[in-house]
Structure 1
Amino acid sequence: MNARALVDRLAASPAVPMTGAAVTLAIGLVFIFVGAPHPWGWQGIDQYHYLAIDLAQGRPFETFDVPWGYGYFLALFYWLFGPTPLPALVVQALLNATVPVMVYAYAARAFDRRVAAVATLLVACLSFNTVYVS
């Protein structure tokens, strides 16, 4: 089997999107539980933590400085589990792990399986979104 046939066979494998999802999830969980390379000293959820605590306790969203959607998302988890961001971050990592699968599905239809495999592996390993999951 020549190299091109091997690449085509690997690119057509259903393992490609699942491997991409597993890699993204693993990176996201490492960033959550070990530490993430946040830019410029940013600590992650910053003021959303305090906004979510207020929202979980029934207080209003009192700022226009940040979008409200993530505050309510986080508040749901704070209401269910207490004021810890870990459950919400794990759910975010799980949702983010679907991105390589979606990229593969789209790219395989729009281009071909080889392009889809490369795009999937790139987004799995290099997505800046994975940093923001944590």
Structure 2
Amino acid sequence: MHLSSGYTVDEQTGDRCVFTWNKSSFPDPARLATLYKENGMRLFANIKPWLLKTHPEYDHLAKQHGLVWQPDEANLSLDGHPATLWQWRAGANTKGLASYIDFTSKAGYKFWQEKASSTLL
């Protein structure tokens, strides 16, 4: 069963934040996965490779330089900030600023690996 990104909708912002569960719609993700597995089906989740700036872990990952970085133009150092672009956030015609996870960085790779194995059953 393919889970579209609707399972990630944040109740406060309405944004779809990867590696989160909308507990109102999916109160027990582990039980959901177990029920599907017991019936011979597997779940796979739609995971976007970016975090919206409204994601609850965006600032934490940015501080660790786990996002694709926009270097300081003057000296090409990491004194800049995460590179941002507009991405779809939720619903028709909505967009928000986001940054791609930097899979070449230790922090970005570790974040993805931990979240994919612990958050998504």
Pairwise same-fold verdict (TM > 0.5):
no
Structure 1 or 2: more strand by fraction? 2
Structure of greater relative contact order (alpha carbons < 8 Å, 6+ residues apart): 1
TM-score, reference length from structure 1: 0.25
Higher helix share: 1
* TM-score, length basis structure 2: 0.27
